[in-house]
């Protein structure tokens, strides 16, 4: 049967706010015996595994000081032989497991974290080997040239891979990387926490991720991706700590997640300028639901700004944001090309926002001077409905491009309550076209009010919505 992993945001918000300090998020691990899992643990996954091993079987030491990179690599290499024989799972038991970057080299594989397990990322750059720049970006996203640091957990060309746990923790120990970034001391792009490339049937679920050096979860050039039940935390001033970034992916489901971030809580991407246009792989058929965000300086959900492969058919519902700069923000610029179209969102609740509706065409950072100034983005078919927002500074800022108007914008059944000191101009609109219906405060002239308009939301289901999870055990046959 399919299992849904849910939470009530109100139950956790006060706890999360208490740890939003300007340093790293601190997490104390419950003391328990290292290296053993005394009882069978059950979890939900797209597939169960026939074979199982503990990380300690390969010499790992969970004292938070001993480097375990070789143990992770040895374990994964050893278990890879079972890929064609029912697959294998590597169990990370209670303890603090310091490691550098490691690759998931085997398909039909599960990495499982016990609830009292913490994977600690090494703070030594040498533990993060350089990998190739993503072809749809051209250069490292931190503005560096060829090469970038490998992600803490990295995989490419995989099928049927699960990264999950009973809310075990991965700590990126990102502050040293943030400091180097601010001080201009990095020669290559910072590591992401989890990055999976060119893969199919991927599940990332039921984990707590904290303090990533940069983006947290980055599925790229992949299909049939399930991201579920994640808690992702970073200080609200940490640089580029996006929570979840589906990038040139097809058929993706993100649900029941809670993110506190120094950047966008979710950023939907598909490549950067001429490199993304040439690579030509869109993000499409994406559903985001039951999602909560805190990010005072960024978006709840951003579409772009790297969207040069295109973004299409995104379905967003049951979204909560608190003390966040904007709701859904479309980010693009001259030179991006491609499109953001067929976007649908409903049932969104926002509290303390700068902007509710935000479309920006002024993201003028480019990988190099080779971008095409004639590559104009197409933005059309943007549908928002059933929105309630309180303590808002601006209702909307919607900026298209001269001679490239953004069209088909529809907003219906939206009630916006303003802050004590709101901006006088509540709707700042240029180079756009569309309609509104039952929207307060009254919209701009470019979005005239129409009676009885109900903005669209698809009635069909995406294939990823019908993926059913199995109940698996950590004590499958070895």
Nearest Cα residue to 354 out of 411, 421, 410, 401: 421
Active-site residue (options: 116, 242, 263, 273): 263
At 426, phi and psi to the nearest 5? -85, -30
DSSP 79-99: HGGGTTTT-EEEEE-SEEEEE
The CA distance from 277 to 358, in Å, is 24
CA 44 → CA 76, 242, 462, 471, distances in Å?
21, 26, 20, 5
Q: What sign does the dihedral 122-88-76-58 (CA atoms) show?
A: positive
Instruction: Report angle CA 459, 461, 464 to the nearest 5 degrees.
Output: 155
Cβ count near 90 (within 10 Å): 24
Phi-psi sector, 46: left (phi>0), alpha (psi -120 to 50), beta: alpha
CA 406 → CA 342, 398, 439, distances in Å?
12, 9, 20
Q: Which helix (H) or strand (E) holds 15?
A: helix 9-18
At 177, phi and psi to the nearest 5? -75, -40
Cβ-based burial of 233 (10 A; exposed 0-12, middle 13-18, buried ≥19): buried
The CA distance from 337 to 373, in Å, is 9
263 is catalytic: yes
Q: Answer whether 96's CB lies under 8 Å from 118's CB.
A: yes
Would you state the structure tokens that stand for residue 237, as one six-digit string?
Answer: 């001033």
At 71, phi and psi to the nearest 5? -65, -45
Residues annotated as part of the active site: 263
């Amino acid at each position: 049967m399919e299992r849904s992993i849910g939470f009530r945001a109100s139950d956790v918000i006060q706890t999360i706010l208490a740890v939003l300090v300007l340093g790293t998020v601190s997490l104390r691990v419950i003391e328990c015996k290292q290296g053993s899992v005394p009882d069978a643990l059950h979890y939900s996954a797209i597939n169960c595994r026939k074979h199982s091993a503990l990380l300690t079987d390969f010499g790992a030491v969970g004292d938070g000081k001993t480097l375990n990179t070789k143990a992770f690599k040895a374990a994964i290499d050893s278990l890879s032989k079972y890929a064609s024989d029912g697959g294998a799972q590597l169990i990370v038991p209670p303890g603090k497991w310091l490691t550098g970057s490691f690759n998931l080299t085997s398909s039909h594989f599960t990495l499982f974290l016990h609830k009292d397990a913490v994977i600690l990322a090494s703070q030594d750059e040498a533990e993060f080997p350089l990998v190739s720049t993503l072809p749809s970006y051209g250069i490292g996203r931190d503005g560096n040239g060829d090469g970038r640091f490998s992600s803490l957990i990295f995989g490419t060309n995989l099928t049927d891979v699960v990264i999950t746990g009973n809310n075990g923790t991965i700590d990126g120990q990102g502050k040293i990387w943030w400091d180097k970034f601010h001080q201009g001391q990095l020669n290559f792009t910072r590591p992401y926490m989890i990055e999976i490339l060119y893969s199919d049937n991927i599940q990332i679920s039921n984990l707590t991720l904290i303090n990533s050096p940069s983006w947290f979860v980055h599925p790229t050039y992949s299909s049939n991706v399930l991201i579920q039940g994640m808690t992702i935390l970073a200080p609200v001033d940490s640089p580029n700590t996006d929570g979840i970034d589906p990038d040139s992916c097809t058929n993706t489901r993100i649900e029941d997640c809670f993110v506190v971030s120094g950047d966008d809580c979710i950023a939907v991407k598909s490549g950067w300028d001429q490199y993304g246009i040439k690579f030509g792989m869109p993000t499409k058929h994406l559903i985001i639901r039951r999602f909560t965000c805190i990010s005072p300086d960024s978006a709840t959900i951003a579409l772009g700004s790297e969207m040069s492969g295109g973004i299409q058919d995104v379905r967003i519902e049951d979204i909560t944001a608190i003390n966040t700069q904007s709701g859904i923000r479309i980010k693009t610029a001259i030179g991006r090309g491609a499109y953001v179209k067929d976007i649908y969102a409903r049932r969104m609740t926002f509290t303390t926002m700068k902007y509710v509706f935000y479309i920006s065409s002024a993201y003028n950072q480019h990988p190099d001077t080779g971008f095409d100034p004639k590559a104009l983005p197409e933005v059309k078919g943007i549908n928002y409905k059933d929105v309630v927002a309180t303590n808002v500074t601006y209702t909307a800022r919607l900026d298209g491009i001269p001679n490239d108007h953004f069209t088909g914008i529809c907003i219906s059944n939206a009630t916006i309550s303003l802050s004590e000191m709101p901006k006088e101009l509540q709707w700042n609109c240029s180079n756009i076209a569309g309609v509104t219906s039952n929207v307060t405060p009254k919209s701009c002239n470019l979005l005239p009010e129409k009676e009885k308009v109900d903005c669209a939301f698809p009635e069909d289901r995406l294939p990823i919505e019908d993926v059913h999870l199995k109940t698996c055990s950590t004590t499958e046959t070895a």
